[in-house]
């Protein structure tokens, strides 16, 4: 593991994300401000990157109050801003490399892990631009969630049967770092964008089946860099996460399903998926 004192800035960021999910918006954005100031001080962010963040957040803040004729353009801007953050296209960020070419076990292939500062900002932009992002307080359909979980988690043994994974029970000493990063910085950002924003927006206009389908295909396409097989499995997993969101009406449930899927993959199978 590669850890240094400058990484303290991810602590208030993690707390900001947790507070956002329990509707403590003011405290959440205050901690985000501390994170960004700290990132400037620790040289994890420069003024160019800060300008890119400020622009996106300002447009997001203004979007809900715009006239309908201007909202579409604003949402398109937010969509592209989120894509740029996902792909690390906004300059000025110095994300921290914390794992360098590590393996979970002798059968796995090396992978590298970064603590990203840019990608988690997607949550905060979407919270401002799309107030319904976190879902509603509708009753949980527990039976439907169980029926969703069974085929979703069956994708891992299916990948084994297709030769993309092998069983390998390992608990690496950096599991906690993977878990925190994957839960708060990866799954939250991806679920906020694909389920909270895209799926929910499309579901309200075209119905929930279309919303789940389109969001899942886009989620799979986002993983095409890992190979066609990964993109296919990501699409199928996206259907599971989408159904978890649909049957719970809570974004945190989709995040939990996503994280559990990734963590089970890490502990019980070779990681990452083979191309």
CA distance 133 to 193: 9
pLDDT band at 138 (very low <50, low <70, confident <90, very high): confident
CA distance 196 to 123: 10
- pTM listed for this prediction: 0.95
| Cα 98 to Cα 4, 39, 102, 113, 177, distances in angstroms | 9, 16, 10, 6, 9
Contact 212, 204 (CB under 8 A): no
Contacts of 21 (CB under 8 A, 6+ apart): 134, 251, 252
Residue 115 three-state SS? strand
Tens of pLDDT along 111-123?
999 999 999 999 9
Contacts of 173 (CB under 8 A, 6+ apart): 1
Residue 102 three-state SS? strand
pLDDT band at 237 (very low <50, low <70, confident <90, very high): very high
Residues constituting the chain: 275
CA distance 243 to 262: 17
- For residue 273, is pLDDT > 80? no
CA distance 163 to 169: 17
Per-chain mean pLDDT for the chain: 95
In this structure, the number of other CB atoms found within 10 A of the CB of residue 90 comes to: 18
Q: What percent of the chain has pLDDT over 70?
A: 99
Tens of pLDDT along 53-83?
999 999 999 999 999 889 999 999 999 999 9
| Cα 156 to Cα 102, 233, 236, distances in angstroms | 21, 9, 11
pLDDT number for residue 275: 53
- For residue 236, is pLDDT > 80? yes
CA distance 31 to 19: 9
Q: φ, ψ for residue 117 (rounded to 5)?
A: -100, -30
CA proximity to 150, closest of 212, 243, 216 = 243
């Amino acid at each position: 593991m590669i850890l240094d004192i400058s990484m303290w800035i991810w602590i208030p960021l993690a707390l900001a994300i947790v507070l956002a999910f329990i509707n403590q918006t003011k405290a959440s954005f205050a901690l985000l401000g501390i994170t960004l100031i700290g990132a400037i001080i620790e040289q994890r962010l420069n003024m160019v990157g800060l300008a890119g963040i400020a622009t996106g957040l300002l447009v997001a803040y203004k979007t809900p109050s715009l006239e309908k004729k201007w909202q579409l353009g604003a949402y398109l801007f937010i969509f592209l801003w989120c894509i740029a953050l996902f792909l690390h296209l906004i300059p000025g960020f110095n994300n921290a490399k914390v794992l360098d070419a590590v393996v979970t076990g002798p059968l796995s292939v090396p992978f590298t892990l970064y603590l990203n500062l840019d990608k988690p900002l997607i949550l905060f932009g979407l919270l401002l631009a799309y107030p319904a992002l976190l879902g509603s307080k509708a009753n949980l359909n527990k039976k439907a969630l169980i029926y969703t979980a069974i085929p979703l988690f069956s994708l891992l043994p299916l990948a084994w049967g297709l030769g993309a994974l092998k069983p390998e029970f390992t608990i690496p000493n950096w599991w906690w770092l993977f878990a925190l990063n994957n839960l708060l910085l990866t799954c939250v950002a991806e679920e906020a964008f694909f389920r909270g924003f895209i799926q929910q927006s499309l579901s309200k206009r075209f119905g929930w089946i279309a919303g789940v389908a389109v969001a899942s295909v886009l989620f799979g396409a986002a993983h095409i860099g890992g190979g066609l097989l990964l993109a296919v499995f990501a699409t199928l997993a996206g259907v599971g996460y989408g159904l978890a969101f649909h049957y719970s009406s809570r974004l945190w449930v989709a995040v939990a399903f996503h994280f559990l899927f990734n963590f089970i993959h890490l502990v019980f199978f070779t990681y990452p998926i083979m191309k």
